[in-house]
Amino acid sequence: MRVLGIDVSPDLVERWAGWFAPEVQPFLADEELASAVGGREEPLSDEVRDTFCLYGPPDGLRHVWLDEQQLAALPRVLRVRLVREQLAHEREQVPSVRAWAGLVPRVREQVDGHRFVWWPSLLAGHEEDVLTAYVEEGRRPSRHDEVAEEEWSRSADLLPQARRIAGTFPAASGPNCFGAVMAAAGVPGADEVWMLREPFEEWLAAKTRPGGRGHEPGTVLVWRSPDGLVQHAAVTLGGGWALHKPSQGWMSPTKVLTVVECRASSRATGRRLERRTLAG
């Protein structure tokens, strides 16, 4: 299976399916609806949090965990209300029946004919189409295969691990942009952890100096918010290419874009871009 220009192993696709459509999944509900629905409380894994964009419930809401049978057993009025509430509370993965009924006819059996949630039974047999559509939506493909051999060779001294991690998906949620830059520069294991700001800033201070050019290898691009906190980072490979990991999510690969594309995708209101050069 190839997604965003990256080969994905069957083992990883199997894990993706479990994170995308878990057997038991969280629904956002206020106290009154939660009491009517029932369900249970469970901790959020990093992967489920990223799939459903549940970065802390809004005030007055709870995570109510249900499986497919528990949802189906609810009175129809509660099912409809619960699923529609997910849209109102911006819980992700509540697609329209119309969007998927042509490929997965069983979605017509779900809820009230307008919206549904993905369960393992619905996803089974359609993993490639559904997961590819989900991971690719709104994301640029990695262009690592377009980088010329001489560019990889020219950047190898400063970025000895860049080629290894370019065009790869993480084993799980957690690895982020800071770790990707540090790993490319040769920091062991940095691409396997959720790298916090503090160790990244320490690395920047120790291993880089101010300034840099986008067309040269080893320029670290650092985006900061108005309060000075680092928000995102990437590193140039030379020849107009840059390597970055857009987010910590399991669906976010470490990829290669042009420097122009990388800057465009990392731009946000109030952020300022600074450049630093890796010390040789």
Strands (E), the chain: 2-3, 6-7, 24-30, 61-67, 208-210, 217-224, 230-238, 241-244, 255-258, 272-278
Q: What is the pLDDT of residue 104?
A: 76
Domain 144-278 belongs in CATH node 3.90.1720: yes
pLDDT in tens, 229-251: 999 999 999 999 999 999 999 99
Q: How far apart are the first and last CA of the chain?
A: 38
Burial class of residue 237 in the structure, from the number of CB atoms within 10 Å of its CB (0-12 exposed, 13-18 middle, 19+ buried): buried
User: How large a percentage of the chain has pLDDT more than 90?
Assistant: 81
Q: Which two tokens stand for residue 54?
A: 């549940």
Q: What is the pLDDT of residue 188?
A: 97
pLDDT of 110 strictly over 70? no
Q: What is the pLDDT of residue 267?
A: 86
pLDDT average, residue stretch 172-198: 98
CA distance 105 to 138: 25
pLDDT in tens, 60-85: 899 999 999 999 899 988 999 999 99
Contact 60, 91 (CB under 8 A): no
Domain positions in the chain: 2-136, 144-278
The amino acid that residue 172 corresponds to is: A
Burial class of residue 145 in the structure, from the number of CB atoms within 10 Å of its CB (0-12 exposed, 13-18 middle, 19+ buried): exposed
pLDDT average, residue stretch 131-154: 97
pLDDT of 54 strictly over 80? yes
CA distance 188 to 27: 38
Burial class of residue 244 in the structure, from the number of CB atoms within 10 Å of its CB (0-12 exposed, 13-18 middle, 19+ buried): buried
CA distance 58 to 86: 12
CA distances 73 to 3, 34, 107, 220, 221, Å, are: 36, 15, 17, 54, 52
Q: Which residue has the tokens 């065009």?
A: 167
Q: What is the pLDDT of residue 40?
A: 80
Q: What is the pLDDT of residue 275?
A: 97
In the sheet where 241-244 sits, what is the strand order? 208-210, 272-278, 217-224, 230-238, 241-244, 255-258
Q: Is 14 helix (H, G, I), strand (E, B) or coil?
A: helix
User: How large a percentage of the chain has pLDDT more than 70?
Assistant: 98
**Worst-scoring range by mean pLDDT, 123-132, 231-240, 265-274?**
265-274
CA distance 48 to 37: 21
**DSSP class of residue 172?**
S
Sorting pLDDT into bands at 50, 70 and 90, what band is 112?
low
Q: What is the pLDDT of residue 111?
A: 56
Q: What is the pLDDT of residue 113?
A: 59
pLDDT of 260 strictly over 90? yes
CA distances 82 to 23, 26, 191, 195, Å, are: 17, 11, 38, 36
Q: Output the pTM of the full model.
A: 0.93
Residue 228 region, left (φ>0) first, then alpha (ψ -120 to 50), else beta?
left
pLDDT of 94 strictly over 80? yes
Q: What is the pLDDT of residue 42?
A: 85
Q: What is the pLDDT of residue 5?
A: 98
| CA-based nearest residue to 21, from 171, 173, 134 | 134
Sign of CA dihedral 128, 132, 133, 134: positive
Contacts of 114 (CB under 8 A, 6+ apart): 96, 97, 98
